[in-house]
Amino acid sequence: MPFSNPSPVSLTPDNVVAMPAPNDEKAPPNFSDHANFINRELSWIEFNRRVLEEAEDSSQPLLERVKFLGIVSSNLDEFFEIRVAGIKQQIASETSDVGPDGMSPTDTFNAIQRGVHEMVKTQYALWNDELVPLLKENNIRIRQSADLNAKRAAWAQRYFQQEVFPMLTPLAVDASHPFPQLANKSHNLLVRARAREGGDPMHAIVQVPRAVSRLILMPRGEKGGDENWNYLYLASLMKHHIADLFPGLTIDGAHAFRVTRNSDLYVDDEEADNLLRSIEQELRRSSRGNAVRLEVEADCPNDFSDLLLDFFQLTEADLYKLEGPLSMTHLAPLVGNDAFAKLKDRVFQPARDPSLPPHADIFEAMRKQDILLHHPYESYDPVVELIESAATDPQVLALKITLYRTSGDSPIVEALINAADAGKQVTALVELRARFDEAANIQWARRLEEAGAHVVYGVVGLKTHCKALLIVRRDTDRLRQYVHLATGNYHPRTARIYTDFSLFTTAPELTEEVAMVFNTLTGLAGYPGLKKLLVAPFDLHTRLIQMIEDERDFAAAGKPGRIIAKLNSLVDQEVIEKLYEASCAGVRIDLIVRGICSLRPNIPSLSENIRVISIVGRFLEHSRIYYFGNDGDARLYLASADWMPRNFYRRVEIAFPIEAPPLREEIINEVLPRFLTDHGKARELQADGSYVRLKAADGEQASQAQLQFREHSRRQAKKLAEKQRKGKMRLSPIKLPPKQRA
């Protein structure tokens, strides 16, 4: 829906640098030169550094800063489990392959370790030197067992004996007891004990139980008593009472550690007779994959850490000594405490789009017009309601959907199960290899099959990553197809914190092509070639390249050339080289890339017409938008795909056009300009791979795209509530102000 007073920004090319004339003696650039590309892993580290900057930002509410510390740790976990694990395998296999940037696996690994060690050092210094004192000022104290007064120590001892001790199992490590196989990211204690003074040391492992919170909230005093909220690290509690587990022995030391393992799944689906069973087996194996990182407490003696490194076959570079919790994700109970609302962002309630008011006939609304929702600023409820309505509507005959990720208590899957139970034809393409959601997807697949749905486990050799829903309904006039296409997953929970778009449409030219895509994925027929949709791995890459080349050719002919893309990642070498070509021809290019970007902007005679920004804020920027000026007849797509080889060649992806004039106006004249003029959460990529935070001009207020979208949503929700109060609610088409340009 339209905003009031949209920020002016030009989407037309101006101040571009033209390509040298053909008779210029200067040699054309070598677009594939290694120097023109940023290493993808180092670019990712820069992204996580931007997340850390949000924790460092003193203008943020205190617990939001703590939350971002947890996100940094969670991101690093996945990075080591997948990317670093893969690089270590390349090194072990002595591969000589290099990426577009020219760095070898060993060069990349060494650079990663330097960057991550520096980042972790900054992360823990921020926690100890700034955030812990600020928490203390707000009556929140993180305690160590040794520092508790007598009353609290007595409570902690009772808690240990009643809630923790019964779950502990000491595992001896000696000639007859091999080092235990510890699960990925498990939290453990290495204990050294002696039978008598001067006796030989003995070692044991004690796993910290997963069923107990790693950060324990201690009881508060009666009203008028202690105002502090006291938290106690579980590892500290266990270390303090570890002697109870080894009666008759003298404890020489107990130190907490955490091991990260290779968690990538290796399933050859061409060889797997039963993909579901094969992935289940691989999930069990992956929790015991090769170790890739060891985290220990800062006071862990070298002989303890050396023992662990030796067992896990790691080197000193893989060791991280931490001045605080072994993972900042363990601070989740603190961040999640509702009693600390004043220390968090204000709870955000998304608005309802006026074209989809509560209790409206969603099928009638879709027949009237295409509808575009911008999540989380606009409620995800209509997506759930569409599927729930289809499940119970006697006129609905069939539903088809792709499921890549969804929530553990998904109302969408429950609605699909209800639809199948009601005798409707339900087809679900469930991607069993959605990273870290494999187990949940296996569970949903089995439940859907039990209800009578047709469950398809994707296409051999590909991940089904597109987000599409097709409903076939017998309306009074004819059989009609209703389609929902999205940039994000069918996941109501992440829809509250990820920015994504949802398109609702009954336009035959789109719905028929979506039906063809489903038939291609579930049947035996080949890809028929489509006019509206761009579909990977079939033609998304080639058609995208062609659109970039079209802009290049327009500019070379003296016509306007314009490209804007909003992505999570930009890695594909051919796309980057084509963008360099377009820049040299005079095409003005703006790229909004949240995470990895291997393109180097602002290099003279190569990319001086390319600007790259990254926006990191309260919500995770997840939507993908492709805009091409096309000599005044703009091409506009929303998509599930980033510009990476995996998206182009190893996944099923859909980029879908936005053609309804009001919706195009909304994205082109309101949404994109707000991203491009962000001076609050945007950072601009420099040619050397670093990022500089943008600032508003002197005397101007910093504009934040996410904040502007939130404020608009609040105003929209207020207007909707007022209409409901006055009984004036009715379905009406979206109306936008005249097109505005700078």
Q: How far apart are CA 318 and CA 292, in angstroms?
A: 7
Kindly list the distances between the CA atom of residue 441 and the CA atoms of 410, 447, 494, 622, in Å, as whole numbers in the listed order: 11, 10, 16, 21
Kind of pairing, strands 229-233 and 140-143?
Answer: parallel
d(CA 572, CA 213): 42
pLDDT in tens, 661-678: 999 999 999 999 999 999
**Res 2 pLDDT > 70:** no
The SS3 of residue 354 is coil
Q: Give SS3 for 684.
A: strand
What percent of the chain clears pLDDT 90, i.e. is strictly above it? 72
Res 234 pLDDT > 70 = yes
Q: What are the tens digits of pLDDT across the range 596-638?
A: 999 999 999 999 999 999 999 999 999 999 999 999 999 999 9
User: Which of 203, 465, 484, 712 is an active site residue?
Assistant: 465
Which pLDDT belongs to residue 29? 87
The top-scoring range by mean pLDDT among 21-35, 61-75, 208-222, 684-698 is 61-75
Contacts 24+ apart (CB under 8 A), 29-34: 29/580, 29/584, 29/605, 29/606, 31/577, 31/580, 31/581, 31/606, 32/100, 32/573, 32/577, 34/98, 34/100, 34/101, 34/102
Stated pTM of the model: 0.90
Q: What is the mean pLDDT of residues 276-286?
A: 51
310's CB contacts (< 8 A; 6+ apart) are none
> What's the confidence (pLDDT) of residue 375?
96
* pLDDT tops 60 at residue 10: no
Q: Within 10 A of 477 (CB to CB), how many other CB atoms are there? A: 7
pLDDT in tens, 199-218: 788 999 999 999 999 999 99
H-run or E-run covering 610: strand 610-615
The rounded distance, in Å, linking the Cα atoms of 113 and 243 is 36
Q: Which is nearest to 184 in space by CA: 290, 85, 300, 280? A: 290
The predicted model gives 687-709 an average pLDDT of: 89
Between 379 and 456, the higher pLDDT residue? 379
Separation CA 429–CA 427 (nearest Å): 7
pLDDT at 224 over 50: no
Give percent of the chain above pLDDT 70: 87
Helix, strand or coil, per DSSP, at residue 324: coil
Query: What pLDDT, on the 0 to 100 scale, is given for residue 273?
Result: 47
Each residue's pLDDT tens digit, 84-112:
999 998 898 887 788 899 999 999 999 99
Q: How confident is the model at residue 76 (pLDDT cuts 50, 70, 90)?
A: very high
Minimal CA–CA distance to 80: which of 68, 89, 92, 93?
89
DSSP secondary structure letters along 58-75: TTS-HHHHHHHHHHHHHH
Using an 8 Å Cβ cutoff, are 389 and 363 in contact? Answer: yes
pLDDT at 582: 98
Query: Can you give the pLDDT at residue 661?
Result: 96
pLDDT at residue number 154: 96
Q: What would the 3-class secondary structure string for 97-137 be?
A: CCCCCCCCHHHHHHHHHHHHHHHHHHHHHHHHHHHHHHHHH
More confidently predicted of 90 and 507: 507
pLDDT on residue 438: 62
pLDDT top residue among 1 and 473: 473
Confidence at residue 741, expressed as pLDDT on a 0 to 100 scale: 34
Reported confidence tier of residue 737, pLDDT bands at 50, 70, 90: very low
Domains and CATH numbers, the chain: 40-343 (3.30.1840.10), 362-528 (3.30.870.10), 535-725 (3.30.870.10)
Neighbour tally for 286: CB within 10 Å: 18
pLDDT single digits (tens) 385-408: 999 999 999 999 999 999 887 777
Q: How far apart are CA 252 and CA 191, in angstroms?
A: 8
Is residue 241 part of the annotated active site? The answer reads: no
187 band by pLDDT with thresholds 50, 70 and 90: very high
Asked whether the predicted pLDDT for residue 221 surpasses 60, the reply is yes
Comparing CA positions, the residue from 252, 267, 263 lying closest to residue 301 is: 252
**Residue 271 pLDDT more than 50?**
no
3-class DSSP state for residue 515?
Answer: helix
Query: How much helix, strand and coil, in percent to the nearest 5, is found in the chain?
Result: 40, 20, 40
In three state form, how does the secondary structure of 175-211 look? CCECCCCCCCCCEEEEEEEECCCCCCCEEEEEECCCC
DSSP annotation of 342 reads G
Q: Decide if pLDDT at 351 tops 70.
A: yes
State the Cα–Cα distance between residues 157 and 444, nearest whole angstrom.
42
Confidence of residue 439 (pLDDT cuts 50, 70, 90): low
Q: What is the pLDDT of residue 96?
A: 75
